[in-house]
Structure 1
Amino acid sequence: MLRLILNVIWLVLSGFWLFLGYMAAGIVACVLVVTIPFGIASFRIGLYALWPFGRDVVRRPSAGAASTIGNVLWILLFGWWLIIGHIATALALAVTIIGLPLAWANLKLIPVSLFPLGSQIVDTDAYVPGSRVAV
């Protein structure tokens, strides 16, 4: 029940806007054809940003060198801007007590915003937290 309440508050205060931003970036990336993998990653991050509580990001064991090269390009082109945005938003949300869990959710988006390729988003109940591998 707490996850639902936090997700609804998140959706109203910042999740919807993050979702729209990531979806717009994904559409632009898909239109450019060469950057379609970045567009798909942007769509995945946008859906995660829409409803983050109760889900987490894990590394896919099958991720190879192509995802590593793509992540390096992502960091250089988009990643560091996204990190700055998520940290600034988290600081703004952390000003109030009710915003603290929302700030934490914004900080939780940083790893997937930095390394989106080779990652997957799973329910927190679907993996063993210490192993970081989906069951």
Structure 2
Amino acid sequence: MNLLLNILWVVFGGLWMAVGWLLAALIMVITIIGIPWARAAFNMARYTFLPFGFAAVDREAHTGEGDIGTGPFGALGNIIWLVLAGWWLALAHVITAICLGITIIGLPFAWAHLKLAGIALWPIGKIIVPRDMMAGAGPAGRV
């Protein structure tokens, strides 16, 4: 089922949004200073391209250990990300969600874009894990 949903997702906006994340990552890499943000953007591009079957979770909550990206420096990095790239990626996800939400078939994909819009605003400190590896996941791999 995840394969079918991911194929439909790519057709209904996932591809162009993943390209947007990749573009943000490439711009960050070119600046050299933006390399730490580029890593988060590359991870989110992969997740945006094939989101079904995976989840974005807080890295500290998942691993049980804090690190530089989950502490005060991570919060500062997210603020810088928000100003430089996060707002326009979130806006693109919202616009895509509105366009998909007009149709009944597009409603599940619109909801997924809205969740990605929230992540676009604050991606540092998140990791992408298979749904069945989420902390607290039940037998069906859902929280």
Matched, 1:6 2:5: yes
Q: Is 2:114 the partner of 1:107?
A: yes
- The TM-score, its normalising length taken from structure 1, stands at 0.88
Given that residues 53 and 105 in structure 1 are in contact (C-alpha distance below 8 angstroms), is that contact kept between their aligned partners in structure 2?
no
Q: Distance in 2 between matches of 1:77 and 1:34?
A: 12
User: Partner of 1:48 in structure 2?
Assistant: 47
Following superposition, the deviation at residue 129 of structure 1 comes to 5.4
Task: Indicate the percent of aligned positions where both proteins have the same amino acid.
Answer: 40
**Where do 5+ consecutive residues of structure 1 fail to align?**
131-135
* Shift in Å, 1:21: 1.7
User: Quick check: 1:68 aligned with 2:75?
Assistant: yes
Alignment of 1:75-90 (within 5 A): 75-90=82-97
Unpaired stretches in structure 2, ≥5 consecutive residues: 61-65, 139-143
CA contact (8 A) 2:24 2:41 kept: yes
Aligned to 1:5, the other structure's residue is in SS state helix
Aligned length: 129
Runs of 4+, deviation exceeding 4 Å? none
- The one-letter code matched in structure 1 to 2:49 is L
1:96 to 103, 113, 127: 103
Whether 1:20 and 2:19 are equivalent positions in the alignment is yes
Deviations along 1:38-94, whole A, 9 cap, x unmatched?
Answer: 111111111010001111111111211111110011112222222222111101001
Alpha-carbon distance in structure 1 between the residues aligned to 2:18 and 2:118: 17
What is the Cα-based RMSD across aligned positions, in Å?
1.5
CA distance in 1, matches of 2:22, 2:111: 22
* Counterpart secondary structure, 1:109: helix
TM-score, L = length of structure 2: 0.83
